[in-house]
Structures are given as C-alpha cells and as structure tokens.
Amino acid sequence: MPLSLKDYKASDFGTLSGWVTSYELLVQFAGTEFTYPLNNEEIEKYQLKYPERKFYMGYNNNIPVFFGEIIPSENNIPRLGRLIQCPV
C-alpha cells in the first residue's frame, strides 16, 4: 500500500507524543510553541488559534510514520512545518 495522508485527530496524540522523547527534539520539531513533555491541550489551543493550518499523519501500510503541518501562505504556495518521523 502506498503512503497516505490523514487528518490529525486527537486520538493520534499518543503516537505523536511517543515520538517526541526529549526537550531538544521538541524544539527541533516545534520550536518554542509547545512545552515538554508535549501535551494534547497545547495542540488543541494551537489548532484553535490557527484554524487555517492543518496537521496530518502520514501512513505506510496503515502504520503511522510521520506527522506534519501544512501552512498556507499569501502567495498560495503552502509550506510544510513541524515535521517529525517515527523513530527507527
């Protein structure tokens, strides 16, 4: 099965938080927007603050392998942010 993208849901939080295993990794992944350990309430607040930005989970054979954010821009060329992949 090819890679697929699905909208991030609150039920994905356990997977995402399991990938963010240190403060240093959190800063690399998310800058200073969130605190360590990552918590679902901060993510929900962020999504309410920026409803135009969308979080996605990437799957390979129905196994989550990465998380990312698509951020729209004024020039209609979206950019990717907050990328993190499943630790190997």
- State what percent of residues in the chain have pLDDT above 90: 94
Average pLDDT over residues 39-65: 96
CATH number of the domain residue 28 falls in: 3.40.630.30
Distance CA 55, CA 84 (A): 12
Name the helix (H) or strand (E) containing 14.
helix 13-19
pLDDT in tens, 18-43: 999 999 999 999 999 999 999 999 99
Q: Which domain holds residue 20?
A: 4-85
The predicted model gives 74-84 an average pLDDT of 94
Number of domains in the chain: 1
In the structure encoding, which two tokens stand for residue 71, read together? 């951020």
Rounded Cα gap, residues 36 and 87, in angstroms: 18
pLDDT at 1: 64
